Chains A and B, each alone.
Chain A
Amino acid sequence: MVTGASSGLGQHIAIRFAQRGARLIITGRDKSRLQTTYDQLKGEGHVQVTANLTIAEERTFLAKSASNLNGLVHCAGIQKHCPIRQLSEQLMTEMYQVNFLAPVMLTQSLLQANAIAQQGSILFMLSTAAHIGTRGLGPYSAMKSGLIGIIKCLALEQAKRKIRVNGISPSVIATPMWDVHQELLTQQKARHPLGLGTLDDVANGAIYMLSDASRWVTGTSLVMDGGAVI
């Protein structure tokens, strides 16, 4: 299952997973963009489910469409710049609901329904912002590093079933998320010795983290940042 599959990283991860033989359940809010992803999935037996993951009923509906998952990749998320001095409760709540509560409670529903198979791999899309400080990214950073706490505790809880739980932390990838921040994107380029990453770079990292090749990896995160320095 790949969330956020109607755009950017989630979309690309879903397409690459299908090329490598996975059968997918893809989900997103925008029906027509989700359909665009669906049309690009190689192979048979894929399923698409539109859902707003901040709404409990829609999460439950999505969870019911799944059984025996070998992998779960949480890519749905939003990014907003806001210095903490200007922070509103509304913005913070939105960040919390989309970037933290939604992936955590979706995981909960799937585990409760025994929909994740033994030796399955759960991957949370974090960001280097989960590990470092960035001016103006407090709310986003906090929710991403909050997920690290979930990853570590859940990794221990699920180890007996050999289910692995990890994060993947890219720095900057040009996706629609950056459309409104073009200037920042240019600034970001300068601090990456190997340049900015591509959608394929993240998809390849996700392929390693989802495949049995990483069966002994749990409770950690794969940082990918082209060697970024301040």
Chain B
Amino acid sequence: MSVVQDPFSLSGKRVLVTGASSGIGRQIAITCSQMGAQVVISGRNPERLQATAAALHGEGHIAITADLSQQEGIDQLVAVSDTLHGVVHAAGISKLVPFRLINKQHLTDIFDSNTFAPMLLTRGLLAKKRIAQNGSILFISALSSHSGALATSAYAASKSALLGAMRSLALEIAKQGMRVNCIAPGYVHTPMLDGLGQGGGNMDALFDLTPLGMGEPEDVAYASVFYLADASRWITRNYFILDGGLSTPMDIYA
């Protein structure tokens, strides 16, 4: 195995990670750099994005502040991205809102960041031929898209939309050997979940439901490395549930 590259390594690959200024995206960027990738990281908050940049291993990484709910932000990111071998869409927002309080503004906000941003960014990258042959695209969806926890209608809808988008996109880009998949995490320890707890959700009781306990950002990062690496070169159009067993007793497919 000395001459042949380890199929789990990311060395020689450039990977774009959105949402890299916090939580899951931050850890994906760090772990990718540990696995040898050069990363392009993006987020809105410049200080926190810089903190992630400082934690990366190796050289040649780029950090770009951009709000992906705006077309300018997307264009900016597309412009600076050189040929990419992997893209991880980890940017996203979440807010607990009971259905009767949903309005157009809330739906627009959630869909702008969670659904339209990853779709339009992918479109921009493909249009400018920024993604290499055999490149791997990964959407971080959420188990909510299947499980639909209380007061998450807009969020769940925004995340399930990614499933359909991914399935169709996979067919369109297979000719170029490109792949696209979704990872659907259950409850992961991140600032996003801390935020939901402060919003009045009784989160502790929910976390206890996970058979293996809550996940760590590393767990999503390890799965992402597998989906970006050549080790998964035959996997596309796939929706991978990563939830410590949370959905195991649920009738999510029924």
Contact = CB atoms under 8 A, between A and B. Distances in A.
A224 B234 contact: yes
Interface stretch (A4-12, A83-91, A107-115, A214-222): A214-222
Contact of A156 (B7, B231, B232, B249): B249
Contact of A19 (B1, B175, B223, B225): B1
B248 interface: yes
A225 B233 CA distance: 10
8 contacts: A155-B245, A201-B234, A204-B7, A204-B8, A208-B226, A213-B223, A213-B226, A223-B235
Given A193-B174, A201-B234, A219-B247, A155 B211 contact: yes
Interface residues of B, number: 35
Interface in A5-27: 19
A48 B179 CA distance: 38
User: Which are the 8 A-B pairs with shortest beta-carbon distances?
Assistant: A219-B248, A193-B174, A159-B211, A204-B231, A213-B222, A216-B219, A201-B234, A227-B236
B240 interface: yes
Interface string A190-230: 00011001101100110110000111111110111111010
Give the interface SS of chain A, mostly helix, strand, loop or mixed: mixed
A205 B238 CA distance: 13
A164 B212 CA distance: 9
A29 interface: no
Contacts, number: 102
Given A156-B211, A216-B215, A218-B212, A226 B245 contact: no
Given A152-B248, A208-B231, A226-B234, A218 B240 contact: no
A226 B223 contact: no
Secondary structure call for the B interface: loop
B242 A217 contact: yes
A162 interface: yes
Nearest to A209: B226
B244 interface: yes
Contacts of B241: 220
Nearest to B211: A159
Nearest to B244: A216
Given A216-B215, A219-B247, A229-B171, A197 B223 contact: no
Nearest to A219: B248
A226 B237 CA distance: 8
